[in-house]
Structure 1
C-alpha cells in the first residue's frame, strides 16, 4: 500500500484544468478529501496525519486549479475554488465522502458543503474561519513573517504555539513534512497567490446576515484550532461551532493556526473518533 511519501501524483482533466492529486490508503473505507492552506500543495500535509488516516480509508490529496502541480486558473473567490473541488470529485466519481479543510482549505470546504451537502458524510474544519469572520489583529507581523515562510522561525510563529514546546513541535513537523524527496510539488506561481489573496479578502465580507449561511451545512462537523491562532483568530472557530447546526469544537493548549500538526497523534485520535463514530 502506498503511503504519503510514496504515493504517485496522478492527474484528472476537467475542461482546461488538469488537477494533480494523490490517492492512497485502504480502499475499503469512506474516502476523505483534504484541502490545503493558502498557496499550499500536497507536500504541505503531515505524513503522521495522512498515513494515520490511510490505515482505514482512501486519502485523497488534491491541488486546486492553478495551485502547485495543477494547471488552470486559480479562482479569485472561495466559492469559485469550491466549484473546482465539485468538478474534481465528480471526475473521480465520488458519490459520498468526508471532507477536511485547513485554513483557506477550510473556507473552500465550507463553501462546498453549503452547495453539495448531500455528497458529504462528515466535515472537518481546521484553523479556519466562516465568511464574514474576524480579521487578525496581527496583520502587519503576519504579512512580514509570511513573506519569509520558508524560514523555520517565521513558520513556527505563524503556525504553532509560541513556547519552547511549540517551537520544538514546529521543527519536528518541518522534518516530517520534508520526508518526501521525489515527485514533489512545485511552488504556486504569483498569479495563483494574488488570486488567493483576493479570495481571502472577499471572504471577510458577509453575504447577508452574518453567519446565517452556515445553517446550510447540515452534516456532522468537527471544528479544530489552537488557543492562539494569529492568522485566523481562534474566536472564528467558536463562531463556526455556534452557528453550524451539528458541530463540535476542540481547542488545543499552547497551539496556533496548525494545532493538528503540533499535536498530530492527539489530533488524529480525536479525528478518528469523529469520523468513525456514529
Structure 2
C-alpha cells in the first residue's frame, strides 16, 4: 500500500456538472469501501487508524458530497439526493459494487444508498446514526454547540466522546491524529451547515405509524450497527431500532462512549469492522 490517509492525493471527477473531490487508496482488486461522513464533515474528519487499517485489506474511498468542502455545487438538504449523488460518483469511477460506511448524517445517506441502489451495495456499516423517523431526542446543549462556525477540541469531546477522563483522553488522541495530514480538506461552508441541519430535522421527524421502521425491512444487505452507549447527538436507542428492523443486522454498543464511539475505540472498532466485512 503506497498511499495512506496522509498521502493519498485529492482527486476530482465531474458528474452532471459537479466536481466531486475524493481520495482512494488501499488494496486493489477488492470491493471498495466508501466512507460517508457526519454533519459538516469532510475527508479529513475520519480517523487515520480506521481508514488505513481498513485499507490494508481493501480499497477505501473518501468522498466530499455535492457542495461539501472541496467539492463544487450547491449543498443538498435531502438524504435521498445525497445518496443518489454518491451512486453517480461510484458509477462514474467505474465501480460495479461497493461496501459503505456511513457516520451520523452519513448513516442516513448510507441507508438510502442501500435502499435506492441495492445492486450497487454489498454490505453496510452504520455508525452513530438512526432510521428515518427515529427518536429525535438530543441533548439540549448539542443544538448550541454543533452549529458553531468552528469547533474546538472541547466542543468535539462534548459532542462525540464519553464523559470519563479515559474517554476524554481518547478524544484528544483522535483530535491530534485527524489533524496530522498537511494538506487538509477545505472547511465546509455555512450553506452546508444550513442544508444538512435541514436534512437532519426532516429525516428524524417521527413517522407516526404503528410500524414506523417497516421501510428498513427492504434493506437486505448485511449491516453492522455501531454506537456508544450514550449518544447525545442521535439517541442510542435508534441503533437498536436499526438492528430490530434491518433483516440481517447486528448491533454493537461500546461502553462509556457517545456519538464517535468508533473514534474512541479505534482498534476495537477496526477488529469488528474487518471481521464483518471479511465474513
Q: Fold-level match, TM-score > 0.5?
A: yes
Match of 2:59 in 1: 58
Out of 235, 238, 242, the residue aligned to residue 236 of structure 1 is: 238
Residue 198 of structure 2 is matched in structure 1 by: 198
Contact 2:136–2:205 (8 Å) recurs in 1: no
* C-alpha distance in structure 2 between counterparts of 1:194 and 1:98, whole Å: 29
Q: Are 1:248 and 2:250 matched, yes or no?
A: yes
Gaps (5+ residues) in structure 2? none
Aligned counterparts, 1:1-278, within 5 A: 1-138=2-139, 140-148=140-148, 150-182=151-183, 184-205=184-205, 209-277=211-279
Looking at structure 2, the residues matched to 271 and 216 of structure 1 have their Cα atoms a distance apart, in angstroms, of: 23
Distance in 2 (alpha carbons) for counterparts of 1:240 and 1:19: 30
* Distance apart, 1:152 and its partner CA: 1.0
Whether the 8 Å contact between 2:113 and 2:121 is mirrored in structure 1 is no
Structure-1-length-normalised TM-score: 0.96
Unaligned ranges ≥5, structure 1: none
Root-mean-square deviation (CA), in Å? Answer: 1.2
| CA distance in structure 2 between the partners assigned to 1:31 and 1:147 by the alignment | 32
SS of equivalent residue, structure 2 residue 119: helix
Shift of 1:185: 1.0
- Distance across 1 between alignment mates of 2:243 and 2:147: 31
Q: Distance in 2 between matches of 1:171 and 1:10?
A: 29
Q: What's the offset of the Cα at 1:181?
A: 1.2
Residues 28 and 56 of structure 1 are in contact (CA less than 8 Å); yes or no, is this contact kept in structure 2?
A: no
Shift of 1:136: 2.4
- Report deviation, 1:145: 2.0
